[in-house]
Chains A and B, each alone.
Chain A
């Protein structure tokens, strides 16, 4: 048996030399790999490469990357499935929490720029346009790095190892923090006029570059100003962290100029297409048709299977269309109370009488939210507010009068009735302990798709993620102008935003930094700003001090109850109870070492020239 095989094998081996092969057998074009010459000379393929880079842009919280972290600060808490309960129990933010070291992406961009310069046969105009776009993306990536890590090595060329056994030519020390911000500004200035993409809301054009400049320069300016106002400024001797106070004014000026250029020259306007102001604010972020406010967004498209599950995860429990999901991010009472009343009074909700002797009784649950900033409606679903065409009624339980005081009765499940035939606990909750129902008494509206079936896992949502919009530019400009002592300009910008939210014209007559900060908080909630704003103002460690007695470190809830008191005029009315949200465990704790993220030991091992960040 064995012999037969041997003979067969021998026969084949003997004949092989006789067959010979095609002369260019080894010179064929690979059937499965695109060559440099092919890629960099085909506009479609280059666009493909660039779109890959857009897709890989780092984000801390967006609709896809890290969306869950919206529930890790004071804007919201986790109310979804209990497997992520850790978000309500972050004992302290770890030092590596915001860490980013994405030199893979930077290298790919550098490589692409080099290939375009060396290999590409495009005409100069097109080549410059592509390179400008790549340099914009690189500037954005460096901005993402510097706001988390402080100064990082600025690498703008491909680094090649020579296999000499000595990698020190590839090891670069960190640049100064201000050098990175200056680099970003210089790059953006250089590419601004050649970016092209006029009118695009998803690819970078001149105004996208200006928007990035507006934000980056504002960050640099406030770091320069507020870091040096700390008892002991956070800095490193080499300047890798810490910008001198003297540079603040110049940075504020650069930011303001960029913002004003967008406001004056860009073809953008605050979104006002819907006369219902609350709905209008909601649509300002999610509407993709005739949206004149959005400057730059990460788009999604169901027909291309580019979609996300943000609506599945966050839709209101009682209108969810899937059998699971919903309610993951539950906005906090803290945020809700930051929305002012339209008469200009502070936003604190009135649940008790002035002398704190009794509840205030409301006829309907939504009455307590009457005459609030319309942005509240556009940001959260509060008890009694509509979503997807239904009223979202919320009630945690009933309060039964026992002759002297109220007994609180709550159901173990949702959608239960009390013995008097009325509702006990509503289908939308809130509930103390059940998963996938709001724990705070509020649901998220911003960015949650209201299209049919979009909250199912089969269909999912194609709402886009807005990276820059005119609303933020208004606030950037206002902040910079205010810091520069030009309060009249700042006031006009803030008042324009407030007018859209339902306040009358010129609702504010004077500004303070506190007001501007609160405007940012209510206008830009759930748009990935709160952490970075708190960091650059150097207030994060005071806001999130880890102490349960500090209301800013805690997440509060608002539970509506129906009064059961037959024969009394208050029977059937609603009262509200404010409390720390029951599923919320540990106060938010941000330490000084969190202002700049940890540079991992693996990175320092690989490059001993990197210096550690302060407190690490």
Chain B
């Protein structure tokens, strides 16, 4: 008598495992929200893992933000549910003016948007030249909203395309007090032995006083 019960329960157990619960599951979010952080239509160079935008969905009792991590080329993306969101910029987080107004974002099946910010400084037309152990760069620093002083301008060199103040093999930081921003700034860095004879990646960055994150130029590849 016992064995049929055992068999039946074994079969039932297997069926239950296979069946799983269907009704209380729902599909993962599938709508892609993507975009860029731009100034005058140009994406801004940042540090990956450095800058974060926040996505909030009002209308529920409890709030929990969806962090949008901005990549080093200024782009971001997130898979979210369709709905009405408010996008906010964290104060003091990026190298731009605080913006307290939130941005309304309606996501219906997907959304692409550019977030226009007001940077303190931008960098234009970086030129690089490399001769043997030395790398020279010139770059124009534009004062867009110079309410914070330039703390420093720096050049970063590394072996990978992911490059910033944290991830680099060589860097040269020039204090902002010594700089005249009216004309292009030149930065000359001696490359360490570990980079000799290799392809390198390079970018320059400008830091406004009291802001953690720098604004960078595009990463460039130098053979």
A binds B: yes
Contacts from A to B (Cβ < 8 Å):
91-92, 230-233, 541, 545-547, 549, 587, 589, 591-593, 601-602, 604-605, 614-616
B215 → chain A, closest Cβ, in Å? Answer: 16
Q: Does B49 sit within 8 A of A, measured CB to CB?
A: yes
Task: Please give, as numbers and ranges, the residues of chain B lying within 8 Å of A589 by CB-CB distance.
Answer: 166
Q: Which residues of A contact B93 (CB under 8 A)?
A: 593, 615
Taking A92-B49, A615-B212 as contacts, is the C-beta distance between A232 and B166 under 8 angstroms?
A: no
B4 to chain A, nearest CB (A): 26
CB-CB < 8 A to A547: which residues of B?
A: 165-166, 168, 171
- Chain B 102-129 interface mask (CB, 8 Å, partner A; 1/0): 0000000000000000000000000000
Decide: A601 near B92, CB < 8 A? Known: A232-B148, A615-B212: no
Q: Which of A232, A549, A589, A591 has the most CB of B within 10 A?
A: A232
Which stretch (B5-13, B25-33, B59-67) binds chain A?
A: B59-67
Interface size class of B (residues with CB under 8 A): 20 to 34
A271 to B152, CA, bound (A): 48
Pair B62/A605 contact, Cβ less than 8 Å? yes
Interface of B (DSSP majority class): loop
Determine the chain A residues whose CB is within 8 A of the CB of B61 once the complex forms. Answer: 605
Take A601-B65, A605-B62 as given contacts and tell me if A549 and B212 are in contact as well, using a CB distance cutoff of 8 Å.
Answer: no
| Chain B residue at minimal CB-CB distance from A614 | B92
On whether A614 and B210 interact (CB within 8 A), knowing A231-B149, A601-B63, A605-B62, the answer reads no
Residues of chain A within 8 A (CB-CB) of B151 are: 231
**Per-residue interface assignment for chain B, residues 175 to 213, with 1 indicating a CB less than 8 Å from any chain A CB and 0 otherwise:** 000000000000000000000000000000000011110
| B interface residues (Cβ-Cβ under 8 A, vs A) | 49, 61-65, 90-93, 148-149, 151, 165-166, 168, 170-171, 209-212
Check if B165 sits within 8 Å of A605, measured CB to CB: no
With the chains together, A591 CA to B149 CA distance in Å? 20
**B210–A231 CB distance below 8 A:** yes
Task: Give every chain B residue within 8 A of A549 (Cβ-Cβ).
Answer: 168, 170-171
A230 touches B168 (CB 8 A): no
B64 lies within 8 A of A232 (CB): no
- 17 of the cross-chain contacts (CB-CB < 8 Å) are A91-B49, A92-B49, A230-B210, A231-B209, A231-B210, A232-B210, A232-B211, A233-B210, A541-B212, A545-B166, A587-B166, A591-B212, A592-B212, A593-B93, A604-B63, A615-B91, A615-B212
| Contact in complex: A546, B166 (CB < 8 Å) | yes
Chain A contacts of B64 at CB under 8 A?
A: 601
Residues of B within 8 A of A616 (CB): 90
Report the bound CA distance from A396 to B193 in whole Å: 27
A-B contacts counted at CB < 8 A amount to 49
Provided the pairs A549-B171, A601-B63, A605-B63 are in contact, do residues A593 and B166 lie with their beta carbons within 8 angstroms? no
| Complex-state Cα separation, A324 to B219, whole angstroms | 49
Q: Which residue of A lies closest to B65 (CB)?
A: A601
In the bound complex, residues from chain A placing their C-beta under 8 Å from that of B91 are: 614-615
Chain A contacts for B62, CB-based, 8 A: 602, 605
Given contacts A232-B209, A232-B211, contact A592 B92 (CB under 8 A): yes
User: In the complex, A605→B56 CA distance in Å?
Assistant: 13
Closest to B54 in A: A616
Assembled-state Cα–Cα distance A56/B156 (Å): 47
What CA separation (Å) do A589 and B211 show in the bound complex? 15
Q: Complex formed: what's the CA distance from A592 to B92 in Å? A: 9
- What would 16 more interface pairs be, CB under 8 Å, given A231-B149, A232-B209, A549-B171? A91-B49, A92-B49, A231-B148, A231-B210, A232-B211, A541-B212, A545-B165, A545-B166, A592-B212, A593-B212, A601-B64, A601-B65, A605-B62, A605-B63, A614-B92, A615-B91
- Please, which residues of chain A bring their CB within 8 A of the CB of B171? 547, 549
Neighbouring B residues of A605 by C-beta, 8 Å: 61-63
**Whole-angstrom CA separation of A415 from B115 in the bound complex:** 61
Q: Which 9 A-B pairs have the closest CB atoms?
A: A232-B210, A231-B209, A231-B210, A592-B212, A546-B166, A605-B62, A615-B92, A601-B64, A591-B212
The answer for the CA separation of A289 and B168 in the assembled complex, in Å, is 53
CA distance A194 to B151 in the complex (A): 52
Q: B93's closest neighbor in chain A, by CB?
A: A615
Contacts of A230 in B (CB 8 A): 210
Give every chain B residue within 8 A of A601 (Cβ-Cβ): 63-65
Residues of chain B contacted by A602 (CB below 8 angstroms): 62
